[in-house]
Amino acid sequence: MLEQLDVSQLNWARAQFALTAMYHWIFVPLTLGLSFLLAFFETLYVKTGNEQWKRITKFWMKLFGINFAIGVATGIIMEFEFGTNWSNYSWMVGDIFGAPLAAEGIFAFFLETTFFAVMFFGWNRVSKNFHLLSTWLVAIGSNLSALWILVANGWMQHPVGMAFNPDNARFEMQNFWEVLFSPVAMSHFVHTTSSGFLLSCLFIVTVCSWYLLKGRHVEMAKKSLAVACTFGIISAAFVGFTGDESAYVAAQVQPMKLAAMEGLWDGEINADLVALGIVNPAKKPGDDQDAFQIEVKIPYLLSLLANREFGSFVPGVNDLVYGNPEQGVMGAEEKIVLGKQAIHQLALYKKAQENNDDVVAAAALAAFSEHQDYLGYGYLNSAEETVPNVPLVFYSFHMMVVLGTLFPVLFAAILFFLYKKNLGEQKWFLRLGVLSVFLGYVASQSGWVVAEVGRQPWAIQGLLPVSIARTNLTTTTVQMTFFMFLIIFTTLLIAEVRIMTKQIQNGPEGE
């Protein structure tokens, strides 16, 4: 379809999308989680009538509002960038991707926006209960919008419920429910939203630890912490369970991603799990170099986690690139051959249609149908292109897991000290608490690196590589917009952080 590929343009387009997505993801998790925390705080206010809960709600709401505005600003770019920078992709998947996006707009955005206004402007204009309902609806609306966009993302990771239409060269939806309830979509949704909850709890831990270290707003800080840490522990449990589920699903539908996450180059029966390690950055597919410079392994665990069965085979990068007939693994090399046949037959079909030659068209279509599952592979030049950046994915994955394990311990310890009524005395621990949201961000952003870098080179797994998905733009054009985004987002981020810090320094009104 595109004869010449400008690799540097592709990389800039990817960089621009990554930049936008990573900036967006600084603000979204806080929106997802803080919205529920606000609902908890306000519920406590309405139930107990204690004015301090109202002050607590209003304080966190102010920070929520500051964060929300910039989340919206980065969000609009995300939506339109599919069209501006990935227009071929937009055409090819619009029939599927569009429906969740429309649902997101209709169901979630207006819920969020409308009741957001009540939440902020309605304290003196609507009843207490209606206000509380609005706060809950903002939380539900925010998280519903995450549902639909993650359904779309889940579909890209594991395309289901659709068929390729050779007449207009696009994928068309056949079953909405299959798209909505795809196992990847569901595990992504719960994993992502609960990780957002967790991060918001860490945000509260950071702010309140700072207050306690300074000896300011002590009561408010303790109350906030009690709620946030309880929510944090529950969220961490969800993050853990769905993280396991995500890895399991990846093993089934994106085995290359799992191999990269684990730095597994040669598949094994009873594969070990690398708990910690330093990967060999020079390692390439098919060579004999060691995969790791240092590694700490847990025997057999990877087979159990990937297939939920001891003694099972987990394919490595080399199996997936070159094939392993013994284990029934078809390699990318073979898929590329089949994919090229599919492309060839598709071109024949189009030509025959132009010439009104029904017989040739039917034969070409039949031949195309046989290999269409490998269509995307036909656009690759070498099997090695199917390997993502293994060190980046490996480190990101391990960083996420290690930190993800640490956070529930942190929450539990805070609750323990609160129970013992001596949290304020644990100076060293509170200093760690101040750092916690930054660690949370490292974990959270790493998660997206695993999900998105881990599936390269695919825009749609196995069907559409990013090189075909992109818009036909010059490198200079994309570079210009990349730097425009970089400058504007960084400027706004600085403004946001300064405003937020100032508000935190000021503390809740009337305290």
Q: Answer yes or no whether residue 124 interacts with other proteins by CB under 8 A.
A: yes
Tell me the window of 170-178, 234-242, 311-319, 456-464 that interacts with other proteins (CB under 8 A).
170-178
Among residues 1, 269, 296, 435, the one that binds other proteins under rule CB under 8 A = 1
Q: Which residues fall within 8 angstroms of residue 483, CB to CB, at 6 or more apart? A: none
For the bound state, the minimum distance from the C-beta of residue 62 to other proteins, rounded and expressed in Å, comes to 8
Q: Which of 394, 466, 391 is nearest to 2 (CA)?
A: 466
Residues 126-165 that bind other proteins (CB under 8 A): 126, 130, 165
Residues 195-224 that bind other proteins (CB under 8 A): none
Nearer to other proteins, 87 or 270 (CB): 87
Nearer to other proteins, 148 or 394 (CB): 148
Among residues 9, 31, 74, 467, the one that binds other proteins under rule CB under 8 A = 74
Q: Answer yes or no whether residue 471 interacts with other proteins by CB under 8 A.
A: yes
Cα-only R_g, the chain: 25
For the bound state, the minimum distance from the C-beta of residue 142 to other proteins, rounded and expressed in Å, comes to 13
Q: Answer yes or no whether residue 298 interacts with other proteins by CB under 8 A.
A: no
Q: Which of 8, 387, 407, 417 is nearest to 200 (CA)?
A: 407
Would you give the end-to-end CA distance of the chain in angstroms? Answer: 65
CA dist list (Å): 172 to 348, 370, 406: 21, 18, 43
Residues 336-365 that bind other proteins (CB under 8 A): 350
Beta bridge partners of 296: 276
Q: Answer yes or no whether residue 88 interacts with other proteins by CB under 8 A.
A: yes
Q: Answer yes or no whether residue 432 interacts with other proteins by CB under 8 A.
A: no
For the bound state, the minimum distance from the C-beta of residue 63 to other proteins, rounded and expressed in Å, comes to 11
Tell me the window of 104-112, 367-375, 391-399, 417-425 that interacts with other proteins (CB under 8 A).
104-112
What letter represents residue 250's amino acid? A
Tell me the window of 300-308, 323-331, 368-376, 487-495 that interacts with other proteins (CB under 8 A).
487-495
Contacts 24+ apart (CB under 8 A), 137-140: 137/111, 138/35, 138/38, 138/39, 138/111, 138/112, 139/35, 139/36, 139/38, 139/39, 140/111
- The Cα–Cα gap between 161 and 181 comes to 10
Give yes or no for a cis peptide into 388 (omega within 30° of 0). no
Residues 8-27 that bind other proteins (CB under 8 A): none
Among residues 94, 183, 391, 424, the one that binds other proteins under rule CB under 8 A = 94
Instruction: Write the DSSP symbol of residue 195.
Output: H
Q: Answer yes or no whether residue 181 interacts with other proteins by CB under 8 A.
A: no
